[in-house]
């Protein structure tokens, strides 16, 4: 990492009002986050001053010097990570969002957890969470942010894969009807991976009885990406099987920022699972 400030957010050019507001809010909450070159110079100067002062009082060892320099470099890296995450969040801000309404405590906790994240793909996930909270304060709980900090890249990729099977049935719900079916297994969704996501606190996995949604109207519409499906509850039925997986609160919140392609053939697979509920005029 160099001292060049060309990638700093202050050099992104003319920003939208929500972007400017977000930068001001983040800077206020965690203190001057968008002046990395200045922070590094100040930190190094303070470190050198501390060394000079200490040398006048005690003999500084090479170990002490290495520790001081390591601290400065670690903080510079964390500074860069925070800035990159914020920069990546800007394209996801709504024009009508007002980041000023974000809670300072939430931002402080967010950057305390995300500042060690250097992987670009993981930074993008964190950036989406930051933008989502800026767009609608209260969308992501501190518990969800803390859970995200415990996920490694493979965990995040696995959760994103699960979300490829998600339908809009009032809430976003991944439909896993048979964890042994090839349409799931071919993408790495199986008993072991679902159990792992359950252990992480992202889903509830019930491989035996599964889950149902109840209190349904006689006729309603569901959707898989841009494809809709009309279902009909016949003979007084008002519940529908939604498979073996339910998202936890944290899972539902994180699913909001997942952007993945659909699975080829999955619409027809689900349609077949629900064929008894498809109106006769639709089932031709």
Residues 165 and 258 both lie in one domain: yes
The answer to whether position 36 is within a domain reads yes
pLDDT 10s digits, 239-275: 899 999 999 999 999 999 999 999 999 999 999 999 9
pLDDT 10s digits, 170-187: 899 999 999 999 999 999
Residues 131 and 165 both lie in one domain: no
* Closest CA relative to residue 179, chosen from 255, 270, 245, 258: 245
Last residue of a domain, one of 127, 150, 173: 150
Residues 180 and 117 both lie in one domain: no
Residues 207 and 107 both lie in one domain: no
The radius of gyration of the chain from alpha carbons, rounded to an integer in Å, stands at: 24
Strand partners, 247: 203
The answer to whether position 21 is within a domain reads yes
Residues 164 and 141 both lie in one domain: no
The answer, yes or no, to whether residue 284 has pLDDT greater than 50, is no
The answer to whether position 51 is within a domain reads yes
The answer to whether position 4 is within a domain reads no
pLDDT 10s digits, 138-164: 999 999 999 999 999 999 999 999 999
Burial 213-236 (b: 16+ CB within 10 A, else e): eeebeeeeebebeeeebebbeeee
The number of folded domains in the chain is 2
Residues 117 and 21 both lie in one domain: yes
Residues 145 and 157 both lie in one domain: no
Please tell me which residue, 67 or 123, carries the higher pLDDT value.
123
Residues 226 and 162 both lie in one domain: yes
pLDDT 10s digits, 43-76: 555 666 666 666 555 555 677 677 777 777 777 7
The answer to whether position 106 is within a domain reads yes
The answer, yes or no, to whether residue 116 has pLDDT greater than 80, is yes
Return the residue matching tokens 């920003």: 15
Q: pLDDT value at position 159?
A: 98
Residues 133 and 199 both lie in one domain: no
Residues 197 and 106 both lie in one domain: no
Residue span of the structural domain in which 103 resides = 9-150
Q: pLDDT value at position 139?
A: 95
The answer to whether position 172 is within a domain reads yes
Last residue of a domain, one of 135, 150, 165: 150
Q: Are 103 and 137 in contact (CB under 8 A)?
A: yes
For residues 205 and 245, give the distance between their C-alpha atoms in angstroms, rounded to a whole number.
5
The two three-digit tokens of residue 90, written as one number: 């800007």
The answer, yes or no, to whether residue 124 has pLDDT greater than 70, is yes
Residues 125 and 87 both lie in one domain: yes
| DSSP string for residues in 123-181 | HHHHHHHHHHHHHSTTSS-HHHHHHHHH--HHHHHHHHHHHTTEEESSSEEE-BS-TTS
In what helix (H) or strand (E) does residue 232 lie, and over which residues does it extend? strand 227-232
Residues 134 and 166 both lie in one domain: no
The answer to whether position 283 is within a domain reads no
Last residue of a domain, one of 124, 150, 176: 150
């Amino acid at each position: 990492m160099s001292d060049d400030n060309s990638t700093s957010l202050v050099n992104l050019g003319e920003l939208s009002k929500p972007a400017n507001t977000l930068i001001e809010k983040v800077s206020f909450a965690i203190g001057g986050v968008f002046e990395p070159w200045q922070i590094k110079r100040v930190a190094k100067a303070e470190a050198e001053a501390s060394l000079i002062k200490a040398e006048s009082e005690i003999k500084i060892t090479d170990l002490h010097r290495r520790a001081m320099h390591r601290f400065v470099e670690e903080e510079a890296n964390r500074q860069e990570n925070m800035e990159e995450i914020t920069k990546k969040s800007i394209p996801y801000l709504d024009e009508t969002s007002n980041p000023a309404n974000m809670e300072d405590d939430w931002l402080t906790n967010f950057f305390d957890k995300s500042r060690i994240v250097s992987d670009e793909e993981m930074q993008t996930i964190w950036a989406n969470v930051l933008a989502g909270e800026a767009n609608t304060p209260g969308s992501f709980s501190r518990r969800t942010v803390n859970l995200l900090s415990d996920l490694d890249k493979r965990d995040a990729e696995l959760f994103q894969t699960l979300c490829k099977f998600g339908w809009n049935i009032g809430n976003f719900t991944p439909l896993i009807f048979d964890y042994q079916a090839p349409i799931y297994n071919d993408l790495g969704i199986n008993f072991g991976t679902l159990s792992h996501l359950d252990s992480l606190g992202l889903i509830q996995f019930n491989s035996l009885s599964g889950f149902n949604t109840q209190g349904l109207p006689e006729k309603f519409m569901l959707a898989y990406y841009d494809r809709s499906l009309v279902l009909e509850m016949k003979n007084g039925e008002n519940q529908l099987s939604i498979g073996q997986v339910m998202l936890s609160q944290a899972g539902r919140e994180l699913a909001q920022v997942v952007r993945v392609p659909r699975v080829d053939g999955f619409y027809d697979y689900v349609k077949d699972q629900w064929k008894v509920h498809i109106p006769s005029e639709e089932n031709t």
